[in-house]
């Protein structure tokens, strides 16, 4: 999986470090992910299935970054 640069950061977001800092701070709340760009596939706007797949992949990636005992 290749991560594009985050517009507000100017580079890829270090999610591993971000989640580690949340754990160190004993954060126990929710994390939210938003798919806020149009999903383009083969130069056309894709359907909800493409967005669902992107969200499934994003969740799997985020879960892979934290120890399994802490993933709800």
Tokens of 29: 């709340």
pLDDT of residue 15: 86
Question: For the segment 26-38, what is each residue's pLDDT rounded down to a tens digit?
Answer: 999 988 877 777 7
Least confident segment among 9-13, 23-27, 57-61: 9-13
Classified as helix, coil or strand, 45 is strand
Q: Count the helix, strand and coil residues of the chain and give each as a percent rounded to the nearest 5.
A: 40, 5, 55
Domain ranges of the chain: 30-70
Tokens 């969740």 correspond to 59
pLDDT at 64 over 70: yes
- Say if residues 55 and 35 touch (Cβ distance below 8 Å): yes
Higher pLDDT: 36 or 62? It is 62
Averaged pLDDT for residues 37-66: 83
């Amino acid at each position: 999986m290749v991560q594009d640069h985050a517009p507000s950061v100017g580079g890829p977001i270090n999610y591993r470090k971000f989640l580690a800092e949340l754990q160190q701070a004993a954060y126990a709340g929710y994390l939210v992910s938003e798919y806020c760009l149009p999903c383009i596939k083969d130069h056309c706007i894709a359907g909800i299935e493409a967005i669902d797949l992107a969200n499934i992949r994003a969740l799997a990636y985020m879960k892979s970054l934290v120890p399994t005992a802490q993933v709800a």
